[in-house]
Amino acid sequence: MEPNRIAVSCRGLTKSYGTGDAQTLALRGIDLSIRYGELLMLVGPSGSGKTTLLSIIAGILDQDAGQCVVLDHDSRTMDATERARFRGRSIGFVFQTFNLLPSLTVVENVAVPLLINGTPRKTAAKRARGMLDAFDLGGRAKALPTQLSGGQQQRVAIARALIHAPKLIVCDEPTSNLDHTAGHHVMELLRREAQVPDRALVVVTHDSRIFEFADRIAHMDDGRIVEVTNGTTQEATPQ
Ligand SMILES: Nc1ncnc2c1ncn2[C@@H]1O[C@H](COP(=O)(O)OP(=O)(O)OP(=O)(O)O)[C@@H](O)[C@H]1O
Ligand SMILES: [Mg+2]
């Protein structure tokens, strides 16, 4: 693999919600590149545009202007079927609100991305159980999401995002419901996933306790990236 190959390239991204007086400019021109093998964190105040940017990178929201190329794909050149297939195969999401399917058990939730990609049911369930073990949830495989604590639901959502070994993993506040120990455990798992060649991770967080896991941190404010620093040393680096 070429060193420093680019997994995600955003250029001049803008996004607004609503119209007229009710219009909110959520992104005001975002330039950002994420390399393969990199764990990039997006940080910034509430409302600064982190989830909006993550949603565009993940292909679940369209920008108004600018370009976003993800794993050599520009979603604007793909039709709805191609987009869905690309997302299903190549991207793992952890949503801020988990989005677990309430009528499926924990193990069934985790197996969903494999089933979507055509893995036989038995193989999918076996791999899902293995992933749950890695997240200390083996004993809760048959529970429904509503029977779990917030932290447990969060870990199920992360297990589901990783199960099909996607090349890009995007996580919105993955440690917000976890205590220090569980948060570190999850970040160690995510960090390990990011170090697989040909893979990249983007993590939105408010949680300064996990900054040490980042390769770089992009600081957002009012729809802009105002600074990019190194995760551990906090030195400024080029965008
Ligand atoms: N669906 C929507 N409709 C209208 N405005 C929206 C919508 N989603 C987000 N916004 C607005 O866009 C701006 C950016 O929101 P976004 O959710 O991206 O922020 P955030 O940085 O993720 O915040 P938080 O840390 O609270 O999750 C905010 O002003 C928000 O009110
Ligand atoms: Mg958000």
pLDDT for residue 3: 57
Among 98, 214, 107, 202, CA closest to 163 = 107
pTM (predicted TM-score): 0.91
Choose the residue to mutate in 50, 56, 173, 225 for probing ligand 1, maximizing ligand atoms within 8 Å of C-beta: 50
pLDDT at res. 210:
92
The C-alpha angle with vertex 142 and arms to 94 and 122, in degrees rounded to 5, equals 85
Assess contact for 179 and 158: CB atoms under 8 A.
no
CA 24 to ligand 1 center in whole angstroms: 9
pLDDT value of position 115: 96
| The pLDDT of residue 182 | 86
Cα-based distances in Å from 184 to 100, 173, 213, 238? 22, 13, 9, 28
Answer whether 205 contacts ligand 1 (Cβ < 6 A): no
pLDDT for 157-212, tens place per residue?
999 999 999 999 999 999 988 889 888 988 998 888 888 888 999 999 988 889 99
Kindly state the percentage of the chain with pLDDT values over 70.
95
Percent helix, percent strand, percent coil in the chain, to nearest 5: 40, 25, 35
Residue closest to 215 by CA, chosen among 27, 33, 59:
33
56 Cβ closer than 6 Å to some ligand 1 atom: no
Q: Please give the domain boundaries of the chain with CATH numbers for all domains.
A: 6-17+25-95+161-230 (3.40.50.300)
- pLDDT of 53 higher than 80: yes
Mean of per-residue pLDDT scores for the chain: 92
Q: How remote is the CA of residue 105 from the centroid of ligand 2, in Å? A: 27
Residue 101 CB less than 6 A away from ligand 1: no
Provide the pairing of β-strand 168-172 with 200-204: parallel
Q: Is the pLDDT of residue 1 over 70?
A: no
Determine the average pLDDT of the residues in 12-37: 95
Average pLDDT over residues 24-43: 96
Of all protein residues, the one whose alpha carbon is nearest to atom 18 of ligand 1 is 49
Distance 208 CA to ligand 2 centre (A): 16
Kindly report, residue by residue over 133-155, the tens digit of the pLDDT: 999 999 999 999 999 998 899 99
Using the predicted structure, report yes or no on whether residue 233 has a pLDDT greater than 70. Answer: no
Task: Report angle CA 49, 197, 160 to the nearest 5 degrees.
Answer: 55
User: Cα(195)–Cα(32) distance, rounded to whole angstroms?
Assistant: 20
Task: State whether the beta carbon of 43 lies less than 6 angstroms from ligand 1.
Answer: no
